[in-house]
Amino acid sequence: MYKRIDRREIRRKKHLRVRKKVVGTAERPRLAVYRSLNHIYAQIINDETGTTLVAASTVEPAIRSQVKYGGNVEAARVVGKAVAEKARAAGITKVVFDRGGYLYHGRVKALADAAREAGLEF
């Protein structure tokens, strides 16, 4: 009788709505965020060529050694700092932020703030 609410489907629809306007270019690539229960991922993507330029996540051994658990705000800060450092090394200073349909709060906000502090502009 009642339709089951699927959170993943709701997030996917929000993300598609946002992606109509948020597009990464060569001058300003897109910083995309994905979070699961146990990990957080960040990628800098050039949508014109469809390539990932830089990526960081709590799955990487270098970051995994710094954090005890990958699904909290502390881990998100480490990933944000790491993706910003990798981006600056690749010559990327300005990005457009794609929160991936998630609320700009908690882990997503912590990742964005850490990336800004490490030198990314968005």
CATH code: domain of residue 31: 3.30.420.100
Q: Burial letters for 59-81: b for 16+ Cβ neighbours within 10 Å, e otherwise?
A: ebeebbeebeebbbeebbbbbbb
The per-residue pLDDT for range 4-53, each reduced to its tens digit, is: 889 899 999 999 999 999 999 999 999 999 999 999 999 999 999 999 99
What single DSSP character describes residue 3? P
Query: Do the domain assignments include residue 90?
Result: yes
pLDDT of residue 3: 77
Query: Do the domain assignments include residue 66?
Result: yes
Domain count, the chain: 1
Angle, helices 73-89/107-117, rounded to nearest 10 degrees: 40
Query: Do the domain assignments include residue 1?
Result: no
pLDDT of residue 1: 65
Query: Do the domain assignments include residue 122?
Result: no
Containing structural domain, residue 112: 7-117
The per-residue pLDDT for range 52-106, each reduced to its tens digit, is: 999 999 999 999 999 999 999 999 999 999 999 999 999 999 999 999 999 999 9
pLDDT of residue 4: 82
Separation between Cα atoms, residue 22 and residue 90, nearest integer Å: 22
